Amino acid sequence: MNAQSEVRSEIQPGQQVTWPPLRTELLGAEPYGAPQLDVPVALNVNENPYPPSRAVVDDIAGAVTLAAATLNRYPDREFTQLRTGLAAYLSQDAGYPVAPEQVWAANGSNEVMLQILQAFGGPGRTAVSFAPTYSMYPEYARDAMTGWVTGRRREDFSFDLDEAHRIIEEHRPSVVLLPSPNNPTGTALPHEVISELCTLLDRSGAPGVVVIDEAYAEFRRAGTASALELLPEHRNLMVTRTMSKAFALAGARLGYLAAAPELCDALRVVRLPYHLSAITQAVASAALRHADELLGRVEELRTERDATVEWLRAEGLEVAPSDANFVLFGRFEDRQAVWQRLLDRGVLIRVTGPEGWLRVSIGTAAEMTAFKDALRDVMTEVSREVATR
Ligand SMILES: Cc1ncc(COP(=O)(O)O)c(C=O)c1O
Residue nearest to atom 12 of ligand 1 (CA): 215
* Verdict on whether the full-model pTM lies above 0.75: yes
Per-residue pLDDT of the chain (389 residues; tens, 9 = 90+): 454 556 667 677 777 678 888 998 899 898 887 888 899 999 999 999 999 999 999 999 999 999 999 999 999 999 999 999 999 999 999 999 999 999 999 999 999 999 999 999 999 999 999 999 999 999 999 999 999 999 999 999 999 999 999 999 999 999 999 999 999 999 999 999 999 999 999 887 778 999 999 999 999 999 999 999 999 999 999 999 999 999 999 999 999 999 999 999 999 999 999 999 999 999 999 999 999 999 989 999 999 999 999 999 999 999 999 999 999 999 999 999 999 999 999 999 999 999 999 999 999 999 999 999 999 999 999 988 888 87
Report how far apart, in Å, the C-alpha atoms of 256 and of each of 80, 89, 112, 188, 284 are.
Answer: 13, 11, 7, 19, 11
| Predicted pLDDT of residue 4 | 52
Distance in Å, CA 265 to ligand 1 centroid: 23
| Predicted pLDDT of residue 177 | 98
Question: Which contacts (CB < 8 Å, 24+ apart) does range 189-195 have?
Answer: 189/159, 189/227, 190/159, 191/225, 191/227, 191/229, 191/230, 193/159, 193/161, 193/164, 194/227, 194/230, 194/237, 195/230, 195/233, 195/234
Residue nearest to atom 15 of ligand 1 (CA): 215
Task: Choose the residue to mutate in 48, 86, 213 for probing ligand 1, maximizing ligand atoms within 8 Å of C-beta.
Answer: 213
> Which residues are near ligand 1 (CB < 6 Å)?
46, 108-110, 134, 179, 183, 213, 215, 242, 244, 250, 255
- In angstroms, the CA 253 to CA 259 distance is 20
Nearest by Cα to 137 from 115, 172, 110: 110
Residues near 204 by beta carbon (within 8 Å), at least 6 away in sequence: 168, 169, 172
Report how far apart, in Å, the C-alpha atoms of 348 and of each of 48, 49, 318, 378 are.
Answer: 15, 13, 20, 13
The closest-lying atom of ligand 1 relative to the alpha carbon of residue 134 is 1
Nearest by Cα to 200 from 268, 151, 240: 151
Residues near 189 by beta carbon (within 8 Å), at least 6 away in sequence: 159, 178, 180, 182, 212, 227
| Predicted pLDDT of residue 36 | 86
Task: Choose the residue to mutate in 86, 136, 283 for probing ligand 1, maximizing ligand atoms within 8 Å of C-beta.
Answer: 136
Task: Choose the residue to mutate in 36, 43, 104, 110 for probing ligand 1, maximizing ligand atoms within 8 Å of C-beta.
Answer: 110
CB atoms inside a 10 Å sphere around CB 84: 15
The alpha carbon dihedral of 368, 158, 136, 212 has a sign of: positive
Partnered with residue 259 across adjacent β-strands are: 238
Partnered with residue 213 across adjacent β-strands are: 179, 240
Distance in Å, CA 244 to ligand 1 centroid: 7
Distance in Å, CA 77 to ligand 1 centroid: 23
Residue nearest to atom 2 of ligand 1 (CA): 215
Q: Where are the beta strands (DSSP E) in the chain?
A: 41-42, 103-106, 126-131, 147-152, 175-179, 209-213, 237-242, 255-259, 318-319, 326-330, 347-348, 358-361
| Predicted pLDDT of residue 1 | 42
Distance in Å, CA 255 to ligand 1 centroid: 8
| Predicted pLDDT of residue 143 | 95
The closest-lying atom of ligand 1 relative to the alpha carbon of residue 183 is 1
Element (H, E) at 340: helix 335-344
Distance in Å, CA 35 to ligand 1 centroid: 16
Task: Choose the residue to mutate in 44, 45, 109 for probing ligand 1, maximizing ligand atoms within 8 Å of C-beta.
Answer: 109
